[in-house]
Chain A
Amino acid sequence: MEENAKKLTKKDLMSVYLRHYQLLGCFNYERQMSTGYGWAMTPVIKKLYGDDDEQLKEGYQRHLEFFNCATSTSPFILGISCAMEEQYANAEEEEFEVSSINSVKAALMGPLAGIGDSFFWGTFRVIGVGIGAPLAIKGSILGPLLYFLMNVIPSELVRWFGFKIGYKGGSEFLAKISANGTLQKLTEAAKVLGLVVIGALIASMVVIKLPTAITINHAKINVQDTLDSIMPKLLPLLVTFGCYSLLQKRVSGTWIMFGLIILGIIGVVLGILK
């Protein structure tokens, strides 16, 4: 068996890796990334089963099953799929349960989607906005540049090494780091970093200034200074948490947006905001 063992070459694997970028090409509500996954796995299926039409068809169909995950963590699953297909192609009848290829995919896509989203949507992108947007508003090209690097570099590293680790025994690796709690701690640590930055954004990005002086019974009161002496940036914090609690109550973001616009107009008409 060793002699005519079917082996994936570096080129085959590279081709799958490059095709993972098109995972969302035909994204749709019903099958989501199914076509993209089939597209990514095509070189491997062709290589391993190219000489048998029936096996070829089954191979393609296996990878046209429903799939949805974060693009950044998908290469890890693709790597595992490649390794399992290679194993299956070389196994004797009955020696390898073929349905396990898809059960592994199905088991991994949910958790890895969550991890990918919280790292890349929730942490790196937020840091990118936090650093990049203020620079862009000041007119510096560094804004979009830093945003770009913050989103591309960490994500590319996770894709590339994820794919490699996935191919070389990814299931065991994942089982190990999730059983000993490393994976969960990493995800939580990313959340901690993201939240510190979000907190910083509240104080730096939401601007509410009240007039410096209003007169009540001939006594001039500087409202903003009074508030600042209690706690600086108190109003931005309150408004942000107001929006947050409305969102939690399932009020749609669009309505809140209109609400804020109307609030801004009323504020100016009444002379409360300036």
Chain B
Amino acid sequence: MIIQGILVALIAAVVYMESRIGGQHMLDRPIIIGPLVGLVMGDFQTGLIIGGELELVWMGLVGIGTSTPPDVVVGSALATALAIQTGADYQTTLALAIPIALLAQFVAIGVAILNTTFAHYADNQIAKGNWKGIAIGNWSGSLIYFLSKFLMVFIGFMVGGDVIKGIVNHIPQVIQAGLAQSGNLLPALGIAMLMQLSLDKKYAAFLFLGFALVAFFNISTIGAAIFGAICAYLYYQFKPREGELF
């Protein structure tokens, strides 16, 4: 159990560190963390499915610029692990993941404040002629990031199981069914958050094109992406440059 806890915490922390010292290829997401946690918990398939479901709900939660969103990494790692451990279903997992991510968000904000110290440390050391100051500063910041995720997931895993079982057994049937329904509704919020990032009125027609393709013809997302790529190509080819007229 302790070993499992350490492994789950390592997965969360290592995948997260890809976004700090690995170049940030958007890999610290439920769709990647879910299956990996499933693997250590001995149920790859469930981890894979929960990862996909959580990704849909949380796809709009991204830390663009300086904002710190609810902690998707800690939320998905812990919820997936605890769901597999206690045999809870996806709805319950979701009900777990949301408060965990909200709590962990505060820690994440704290770390980004704390790391200001190391930026100042690097500045001061260089001013004093200690050239190693930059490396020490940058890696100390990384270490704090690593430890914060590792400890949150490890502690959460060690104390979480029994608490979760207790709560799950007391959730009334109706509420559980309602949670299942909200699992179907919540992707709407994820999508709306994406729309906030990229929708402006000028391009709204393209959003409706994608919607209509699926709603009326029931094509797959890959199919829609291909139509989208064709639209993007046509747009690039035929939109006149600034000052050019048809």
Contacts and interface: CB of A to CB of B under 8 A. Distances in A.
Contacts of B220: 134, 204
B66 interface: yes
Contact of B206 (A32, A34, A137, A199): A199
Contacts of A42: 134-135
B31 A143 contact: yes
Interface stretch (A90-98, A100-108, A114-122, A163-171): A114-122
Interface in B166-183: 174-175, 177-183
B222 to A, nearest CB: 5
A72 B177 CA distance: 42
A68 B63 CA distance: 13
A270 B209 CA distance: 34
Given A136-B51, A254-B102, A34 B119 contact: yes
Interface residues of A, number: 116
A71 B65 CA distance: 11
Interface string A127-149: 11111111111011101100110
Contacts of A175: none
A51 interface: no
Interface string B24-43: 11110101101100000000
Residue among A35, A72, A151 with most chain B CB within 10 A: A35
Q: Tell me if B's interface is mostly helix, strand, loop or mixed.
A: helix
Interface string A194-238: 111111111111111000000000000000000000011100110
Contacts of A151: 25-27
Q: Tell me if A's interface is mostly helix, strand, loop or mixed.
A: helix
Interface string B6-39: 0000000000000111111111010110110000
Nearest to A20: B23
Contacts of B199: 195, 198, 244
A137 B53 contact: yes
Interface in B218-233: 219-222, 224-225, 227-229, 231-233
B35 A28 contact: no
A244 B141 CA distance: 36
A148 B115 contact: no
B214 A38 contact: no
A14 interface: no
A257 interface: yes
A39 B219 CA distance: 47
A5 interface: no
A121 B242 contact: no
Residue among A20, A46, A64 with most chain B CB within 10 A: A64
B186 A192 contact: no
The 10 lowest CB-CB distance pairs between A and B, nearest first, are A199-B210, A26-B141, A265-B178, A136-B52, A264-B182, A196-B228, A200-B224, A264-B181, A243-B192, A203-B214
Given A233-B214, A237-B215, A268-B177, 18 more contacts: A25-B138, A27-B20, A28-B112, A28-B119, A29-B116, A64-B122, A127-B221, A133-B55, A133-B56, A136-B48, A136-B51, A208-B184, A242-B188, A243-B189, A243-B191, A247-B192, A264-B184, A268-B178
